[in-house]
Structure formats: structure tokens, C-alpha cells
Amino acid sequence: MKLFGKKKETKSCCCGENCTSETMQNVENKKQEQGIKILGSGCAKCMELEKATRTAISELQIDYEIEHITDFAEIASYGVMSTPALVFNGEVISYGKVLTADEVKALLSK
């Protein structure tokens, strides 16, 4: 009688569903897109970060589109566990706090 056996392995992605390699590739391709992304559920903090980011890019006179991502599976694909998060050219540059417009300008200027 075996009390402790090898656990049956199941393959699933970060969202708990069985994603295909095509789905995972689409997510990876989307992460590599240039531009600015706000990751969050759409709460007040996320909207505040988006507003500060819009102010910062207008003051810096940068012509970037801002995309607000609310899909938790896509947010998790960035490795973000705490929102709101700010992504610039595929790299997470801030997460877990609301930045001011000046803080966003400093991060975007690097």
C-alpha cells in the first residue's frame, strides 16, 4: 500500500486554464509591443495612475498610446502580483503604487 505517491502532473498556464501554445505565444508577442500599458482592474488607483501617466507624456511631449489592461491572466503574464502597474516598452517599471506625474516622467526619461 502506497501512502505517498508521485503527484499526477497537469499542465496549465498562469490563469488556471489549459492554454494552447498559440495562446501563450500571442500573450508573449503582446508583451513585446512598444508603448505604455497600465495594468489593473480599473479601480480608482489604476485610473489615477493612468491620469498621471497621461499628464507626464503630454508634459514630455511624447506621442505614445496608453493601453489599460484589465485581464488578470495577461497581468499575471507580466509577473505582476500587485496593481496598479506601469509597463513601458514591454518592461514593468512600477507596480503596487500610484505614481505622481513627476515620478512617471522620471521613469520614462530613463
Q: Is 46 a catalytic residue?
A: yes
43 is catalytic: yes
The string of DSSP codes covering 5-21 is -PPPP----TTSS---H
CB 90, CB 32: distance < 8 Å: yes
Cα–Cα distance for residue pair 53/59, rounded to 1 Å: 10
Residue type at 50? Answer: E
- Enumerate the active-site residues: 43, 46
